[in-house]
Amino acid sequence: MKNNAIRFNTAEAPLSKEAVAIYEMVKSAITDNRATLDAMAEAVEDQMNNKKPKSKAARAKSPKASTGANVLVDGVPVNLGEPSFVMLGSDSESD
């Protein structure tokens, strides 16, 4: 998305700048939540291979965040974090 926005609109276009901001936010969120994302990926892989969920003791060692929505994904606690929205300018045609 970022590369296409820059390619088709120039790097200085508002759409391109917004795409870069979104890219940087997502990149930062992934870096900050790497352990949780890895645990989720492992749980999905285990589920796809029909493995049983981890024991309660193993789940207790999984990383947890203190705020936001908490859910269990195949026995692994996952914090979805606080809602965050990127507001585009009023001239945006994006839905």
For residue 94, tell me if it sits in a domain: no
Q: Cβ(89)–Cβ(14) under 8 Å?
A: yes
pLDDT score recorded for residue 92: 47
Give me the domain span that covers residue 28.
Answer: 2-79
Domain membership flag for residue 31: yes
28-84, pLDDT tens digit by residue? 999 999 999 999 999 999 888 886 666 666 655 655 545 566 777 767 777 776 655
Q: In the chain, how many domains are there?
A: 1
9 domain residue, yes or no: yes
CB atoms within 10 A of CB 40: 17
Give just the sign of the alpha carbon dihedral 70, 73, 78, 82.
negative
Judge whether 91 lies within some domain: no
Lowest-confidence region among 1-5, 10-14, 49-53:
49-53
Evaluate if residue 4 carries a pLDDT over 60: yes
**Structural domain includes residue 15:** yes
- Per the domain annotation, does 29 fall within a domain? yes
What is residue 65's predicted lDDT score, i.e. its pLDDT? 44
Answer whether residue 90 is part of any domain: no
pTM score, whole prediction: 0.48
